[in-house]
Structure 1
């Protein structure tokens, strides 16, 4: 019972104030803006991948999840590194071509034209 209380306190420490789900094939990326007890916000990025093991009636579905936490003081360094990594891929393999004809669901992001800058547009 005591462990449950501790876990509840940890969960309460991370209030979600904004969330966006991005569906990408078999994966879903969640961008959650959370607030800790000190009212400081940070970004939790979660990759969730559906994993099916077995076949037919014996198949079992589970989800593999990976998380990273990004704090305000690291946003600029993270964005610079992300921009550099994407630039490298574009230099080696050409620009990323937008996929047209996919039906966007409510939480799916739309593809914007590529430019030299990385822009994040988050709707509340």
Structure 2
């Protein structure tokens, strides 16, 4: 059997989730006995200083006998995160002013007044 035919038999169903520099591949594959299992692959792109790049991949093999328990724990974990932190993403990577915002969350009245007086007045009619 040719290599392409083997790949076609091996990969039954696939979905891709692109998430920034990460890509997740969800694949249904067949065993030699023609039973199905799932692979979940995380591919993460890394860019070098010279502009070249490479990918790091991590793969999980999920077999039918583990589907129910895996799904229950995944549902529980995602619900926990969303219940406790909501859907808003909070990180240095997603918020440019993350360190500033969380290092000093609320300026004092004096700091606010100093910020107001430290700016140069601009009249947009002059532009």
Q: Report the TM-score, using the length of structure 1 for normalisation.
A: 0.61
Q: Provide the aligned length of Structure 1 versus Structure 2.
A: 83
Aligned to 1:86: 78
Aligned equivalent of 1:36, options 31, 34, 51: 31
Counting only pairs closer than 5 Å after superposition, residues 35-114 of structure 1 correspond to structure 2 as 35-54=30-49, 58-94=50-86, 96=87
Unaligned runs of 5+ in 1: 1-7, 98-124
Question: Deviation digits for residues 62-92 of structure 1, max 9, x if unmatched?
Answer: 0010000000110000000001101110221
Give the RMSD, CA atoms, in angstroms.
Answer: 1.8
Find runs of 4+ consecutive structure 1 residues off by over 2 angstroms. none
What is the CA–CA distance in structure 1 between the aligned matches of 2:12 and 2:57, rounded to whole Å?
A: 21
What is the CA–CA distance in structure 2 between the aligned matches of 1:53 and 1:29, rounded to whole Å?
A: 22
What is the CA–CA distance in structure 2 between the aligned matches of 1:44 and 1:87, rounded to whole Å?
A: 23
Cα distance, 1:19 vs. partner? 1.1
Cα distance, 1:60 vs. partner? 1.9
**Higher RCO (Cα < 8 Å, 6 or more apart):** 1
Which has a greater percent of helix? 2
Per the alignment, in what secondary structure is the counterpart of residue 83 of structure 1? helix
Aligned equivalent of 2:13, options 2, 18, 21: 18
What is the CA–CA distance in structure 2 between the aligned matches of 1:40 and 1:61, rounded to whole Å?
A: 36
Unaligned runs of 5+ in 2: 89-127
